[in-house]
Amino acid sequence: QVQVTESGGGSVQSGGSLRLSCAVSEYTYRRYCMGWFRQAPGKEREGVAGIDSDGQISYADSVKGRFTISHDNDKNTLYLQMDSLKPEDTAMYHCAFLTTYGSGDAYFPPLGCNALNAWGQGTQVTVSS
């Protein structure tokens, strides 16, 4: 069973940067996605960024141009570089490992992954104005 563990959250002022990391345990899937979600109190969960096993990337419109997702294959670690942070980016950020099963909606369109296999406990990001 795949396990993911986030780190790197914290508090920054508006305009600042943070880098989140997600350690991913060993897996045998040939096709998969890894991604970041966030959820703020009283708001729906939002898929922030995803990357698939072919290296294709998808971003939510709210973070395009500011956030960068990457995966270090040697370290098996997923990253989210967050620049130009805004107060509305304040949320709990969760790392996830995903695959494709059946015909459900994808979490990071146009990436095809629609099944959550692993979900991290989350790391808090707080951006003050």
pLDDT for residue 9:
95
pLDDT tops 90 at residue 38 = yes
Interatomic CA distance for residues 33 and 66, integer angstroms: 21
User: What beta strand segments (E) does the chain contain?
Assistant: 4-7, 10-13, 18-24, 33-39, 46-52, 57-59, 67-72, 77-82, 91-99, 115-119, 123-128
pLDDT for residue 102:
82
pLDDT for residue 37:
98
pLDDT tops 90 at residue 64 = yes
Span 83-96, average pLDDT: 98
For the chain, give the mean pLDDT. 96
Query: Cα–chain-centroid distance for residue 32?
Result: 14
Interatomic CA distance for residues 61 and 88, integer angstroms: 13
